């Protein structure tokens, strides 16, 4: 079962958007949300973080959850130009 559009912890989202601003991006152009899926066989839950830049219609997904560096990976992609220029 998968659920989409779940909000992130406010601190995680805020920190990510603040770093986008430091890189010269308009953080209001970015949507950040999570989806979770569970595997009934093993009882585990997998979280994906989705980052979407509205102005370019580009979305990338990252593994989320405790100890996962989704924000650092997303910022690396931003710096590499995968979401377009600032």
Reading the block at residue 63, the tokens are: 């593994």
pLDDT computed for residue 67 by the predictor: 81
The more confidently predicted of residues 4 and 59 is 59
Q: Is residue 2 pLDDT above 50, yes or no?
A: no
Measure the CA–CA gap between 13 and 3, rounded to whole angstroms. 18
pTM: 0.81
For 2-79, CATH gives: 3.30.160
Q: Which of 42-46, 51-55, 81-85 has the lowest mean pLDDT?
A: 42-46
User: Mean pLDDT for the chain?
Assistant: 85
């Amino acid at each position: 079962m998968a659920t989409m559009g779940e909000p992130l912890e406010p601190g995680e989202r805020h920190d990510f958007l603040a770093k986008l601003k430091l890189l010269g991006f308009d953080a209001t152009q970015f949507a950040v949300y999570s989806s979770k899926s569970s595997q009934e066989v093993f009882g585990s839950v997998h979280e994906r973080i989705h980052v979407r830049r509205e102005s370019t219609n580009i979305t990338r997904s990252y593994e989320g959850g405790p100890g996962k560096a989704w924000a650092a990976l997303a910022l690396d992609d931003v710096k590499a130009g995968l979401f377009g220029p600032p």
